[in-house]
C-alpha cells in the first residue's frame, strides 16, 4: 500500500520512512513531492495540532484523490506556555533548523528561564490520515525534555537543543534507532499504521 505523506519537510519524511522500515509492513511512504512540483500547502490556521494535521491531510487527499497522512506538531516551553505550542511554526522568522534553534536559545538568558524547571520542553506530534472516501484516523504522542545549548550532530530540527534527562543526552547525540524510538511523530505513526491497514482493506 502506498501512502502519501503530506509534508515538504524531507527530515520528517526520512524519519518516518526509517522507522517504518524496521516494522514488518506493506505500507510504503512517499513524499508529496512525488505528486506535486509546486509546494502547495493549506494555511494551517487551526486551534490545535489535530486541526492543522487534518487540514493538511484533507487538502492533499482532496487534491490528489488518494489517501494522505499529514502531521502537525510543536514545542511547549514551560517558561512561556502561550508562546509556542500550536503557534510554533509562526513564532520562528527563520527557515533552517539551526537558525530556528538560535531563535529559541535567545530566550535562554531571559529571567524566566533561569529556573531550570522553566526550561522544560515538550515536543508534541499529531498525525491524521484521510482517505478519498472521507474516513479519518488520528494519533498523538509527546516527549518531555529540557532546552539546552546545541549539542550533537544527528537528527534534524530541534534535536540538538532537546535534552532527555533520563538519558543524559540530546536527541542529536543519540543513534538514529534510539532517536526514532523516542520521536513523538514515530510513536504516533506506529499507533496509526495498523489502523490504516485495517481501514484500507474495508474502505
If you classify domain 2-202 with CATH, what class do you get?
Answer: alpha beta
Q: Which residues of the chain have pLDDT under 50?
A: none
Predicted pLDDT of residue 89: 79
Task: Spot the catalytic one: 26, 51, 62, 72.
Answer: 72
pLDDT tens per residue, range 25-50 = 788 999 999 999 888 888 878 999 99
Note the pTM of the prediction, 2 decimals.
0.89
pLDDT tens per residue, range 54-68 = 999 999 999 999 999
Distance from C-alpha of 163 to C-alpha of 120, rounded to nearest angstrom: 9
- State whether residue 3 is helix, strand or coil: strand
List strands edge to edge, sheet with 68-77. Answer: 28-31, 2-5, 68-77, 120-130, 136-147, 162-164, 169-170
Predicted pLDDT of residue 19: 82
Based on the residue annotation, tell me whether 71 is a catalytic residue of this protein. Answer: no
Predicted pLDDT of residue 169: 98
Predicted pLDDT of residue 44: 79
Distance from C-alpha of 132 to C-alpha of 117, rounded to nearest angstrom: 45
Q: Report whether 57 contacts 128 (CB < 8 A).
A: yes
Distance from C-alpha of 60 to C-alpha of 202, rounded to nearest angstrom: 21
Amino acid at each position: 500500500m502506498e501512502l502519501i505523506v503530506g509534508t515538504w519537510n524531507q527530515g520528517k519524511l526520512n524519519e518516518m520512512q526509517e522507522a517504518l522500515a524496521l516494522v514488518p509492513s506493506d505500507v510504503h511512504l512517499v513524499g508529496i513531492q512525488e505528486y506535486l512540483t509546486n509546494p502547495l500547502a493549506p494555511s494551517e490556521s487551526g486551534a490545535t495540532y489535530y486541526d492543522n494535521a487534518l487540514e493538511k491531510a484533507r487538502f492533499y487527499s482532496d487534491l490528489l484523490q488518494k489517501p494522505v497522512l499529514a502531521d502537525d506538531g510543536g514545542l511547549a516551553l514551560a517558561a512561556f506556555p502561550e508562546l509556542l505550542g500550536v503557534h510554533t511554526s509562526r513564532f520562528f522568522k527563520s527557515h533552517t533548523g539551526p537558525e530556528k534553534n538560535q531563535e529559541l536559545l535567545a530566550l535562554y538568558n531571559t529571567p524566566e528561564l533561569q529556573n531550570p524547571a522553566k526550561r522544560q520542553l515538550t515536543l508534541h506530534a499529531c498525525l491524521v490520515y484521510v482517505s478519498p472516501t472521507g474516513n479519518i484516523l488520528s494519533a498523538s504522542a509527546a516527549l518531555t525534555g529540557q532546552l539546552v545549548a546545541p549539542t550533537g550532530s544527528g537528527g534534524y530540527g530541534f534535536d540538538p537543543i532537546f535534552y532527555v534527562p533520563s538519558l543524559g543526552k540530546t536527541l542529536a547525540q543519540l543513534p538514529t534507532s534510539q532517536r526514532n524510538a523516542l520521536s513523538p511523530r514515530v510513536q504516533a505513526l506506529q499507533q496509526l499504521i495498523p489502523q490504516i491497514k485495517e481501514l484500507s482493506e474495508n474502505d
